[in-house]
Amino acid sequence: MKGNDQEAPKAEAADGFEAACDDALHSLREVVESDWSVPAGTLEWSCRQTVVHMIDCVFSYGLQLAARTQGGFLPFEELHALPEATTGDLLEGLRGIGAIFTALIRSVPGESVASDGLSSLDVDEWAARGAYEILLHTYDVLQGHGVSFGPPAALCSWVLASPRPWMLDRNLAAETSDPWKALLLGSGRPWRPR
Identify the band that residue 193 occupies on the pLDDT scale cut at 50, 70 and 90.
low
For residue 164, the model assigns a pLDDT of: 72
pLDDT, tens only, 18-32: 999 999 999 999 999
Contact 104, 127 (CB under 8 A): no
- Packing angle of the helix pair 153-161, 2-29 (nearest 10 deg): 130
Mean pLDDT of the chain: 91
Whether the predicted pLDDT of 102 surpasses 70 = yes
> What is the CATH architecture assignment of 2-165?
Up-down Bundle (1.20)
- Neighbour count for residue 121 (Cβ, 10 Å): 22
Contact 24, 64 (CB under 8 A): no
pLDDT, tens only, 109-158: 989 999 988 889 999 999 999 999 999 999 999 999 999 999 999 999 99
For residue 168, the model assigns a pLDDT of: 87
Whether the predicted pLDDT of 2 surpasses 60 = no
Contact 45, 17 (CB under 8 A): no
Q: Where are the domains of the chain?
A: 2-165
Span 100-108, mean pLDDT? Answer: 96
Q: Does pTM surpass 0.85?
A: yes
